[in-house]
Amino acid sequence: MEIPVLDFEVYRLGENVTDAKLKELSRELRTAFTEIGFVYLRNTGIGQEEVDAVIEISKKFFLLPEEVKIPLSRMSNTDNHGWVAPEIERLNPSRPGDLKEAFNITSLHTDAAWPAEDVVPGFRKAFESFFMRCKDLSLHVLRVMALSLDIDVDIFVNSHKSIGSSTNGSTLRILYYPPVKRAMVKESQLRCGEHSDYGSISLLFQDSKGGLQVKSRSGEFIDAPAIPGTVLINIADLMQRWTSDVFISAKHRVLLPPPGDSSTRQSLVFFAQPDDDIIVICCDGSNKHPPVKTGDYLLERFNETYRMQGHDEESNQALEEAGTRYEGMQQCFESIQVLIRMTWQAGLFHFGKVLIYDPFFSIVTRRENWTVEINKSKSQTRN
C-alpha cells in the first residue's frame, strides 16, 4: 500500500465548494482518510521554495548553543510556545526520549517569546507568515473533508475560529533531528517514537532525508517519503472521534538513519486543533464516543507526552497531586536536564549522579537515564 497523491488545484481556483470537481476531490480525500489516514496534496498554494526557505531559517536557530535556547524553552513560556530540548519528549512511552528538538509556535501575540532578530534574522516574520499560510490551508482541507461526509461544509471550520490565539492550541512545530551518534543511542530509541497526533488534522512539510513511516490498517509500517511540492496531511485523534471512526488517525514514527549516516533531518508540521471550548461530539449523531472538551483533552495528551523519563505510576500520581506546582516542576527538570548534559559534554562532571533536594521534590539524575522521585511529604528538609 502507498499513500495516495491528490491534486488540490480545484480548490485553489476559488470554485464553489459544491462544484462537481470538488465533490470528486472530496470522495478521493475520504477514501484516503478512511483507508490509511494520510494523503499527499499537491498544488496547495504553498510551494517548495517557500518551505525550503523557512526550513533554512529554522536551522540557524537549532545550531545555536543550548544556553541561548534555554530562555526560550516551552516551559518558560505559556500556551506550549517555545523550544523543546532533545529527549524531553517521549511520544511512545515504552521507548526512551525522542532524538529530536523542536520550536513550537502556538500564539501570534506580541508578547510571545521568539529568538532575537539580531540572533536569527527574519525568524519571527517568516514563521508568523508560514503559520497563517498553514492555517488557511487547514481550513480549506477541513471544508472539503466535511463535504466528503455529506454534512454542513462549515461544521469543522466553525470550530477552528481562534487559531493563532490563546484560546486555541493549534501549533506550528519546527522539528530538528540532529546527527545520530550510535554510541549514545539507548536501546529501542528512535528519532520519534510511534504515536498518533492529538487534534483535527496535521500538515507535514519534510526535507529529503526520509525516515518517516506510517502504520497501515494491517499493522505494517510503510514509508512516507518526501515528495517535492506536496504537503502530507493526516487525520488526528479528535477528528477520528468526531467522525465516529470513519476517518482514522494512524500511528507514525521516524526511524534512525542508517549506520554511518550523520546527516540531520528537518520538518515543519502544523497541528490544526479545535478551539479550546469546543465540545467534540460524533458528527453522525451516534454515541460511539462520549463528548469531550477540546482544551481538557489536549492538556491531558500534552501531559502524557512530557511526563518525565523513568517514571512509574506512583510517581506520576504524586506529580498530578502536586497541582499548581506541576508545570513549575517540569520547567525545573527540563532546565536541569539540559544543564547537566552540557556539563557532561564539557567534561566537568566526575560523579555518577547528582542529588538535588527540594522541600517537596527529590530529583535524581543519572548519566545513563533520567528518573524522578516524588516525595509526598512536605516536611522533608534540604540536605
Burial (CB < 10 A; 0-12, 13-18, 19+), residue 382, is exposed
Which pLDDT does position 316 carry in this prediction?
44
d(CA 278, CA 285) in angstroms, rounded, equals 16
With contact defined as beta carbons under 8 Å apart, do 100 and 375 qualify? no
SS3 of residue 113 by DSSP? coil
Give CA angle at 250 (231, 205), nearest 5°: 20
d(CA 302, CA 22) in angstroms, rounded, equals 35
Span 179-197, average pLDDT? 95
Distances in Å between the Cα of 371 and the Cα atoms of 34, 67, 91, 183, 374 are 40, 23, 17, 21, 10
Lowest mean pLDDT among 11-25, 183-197, 203-217: 11-25
pLDDT-based confidence at 367, cuts 50/70/90? very low
Distances in Å between the Cα of 249 and the Cα atoms of 90, 193, 346 are 19, 15, 43
The grid coordinates listed for 202 are 496535521
Please state which architecture CATH assigns to domain 5-306.
Sandwich (2.60)
DSSP 8-state symbol, 275: B
d(CA 99, CA 101) in angstroms, rounded, equals 7
Regarding pTM above 0.75, the answer is yes
| Range(s) within the chain of domains with CATH label 2.60.120.330 | 5-306
d(CA 355, CA 375) in angstroms, rounded, equals 14
pLDDT-based confidence at 77, cuts 50/70/90? confident
Contacts of 116 (CB under 8 A, 6+ apart): none
Lowest mean pLDDT among 11-25, 107-121, 288-302, 365-379: 365-379
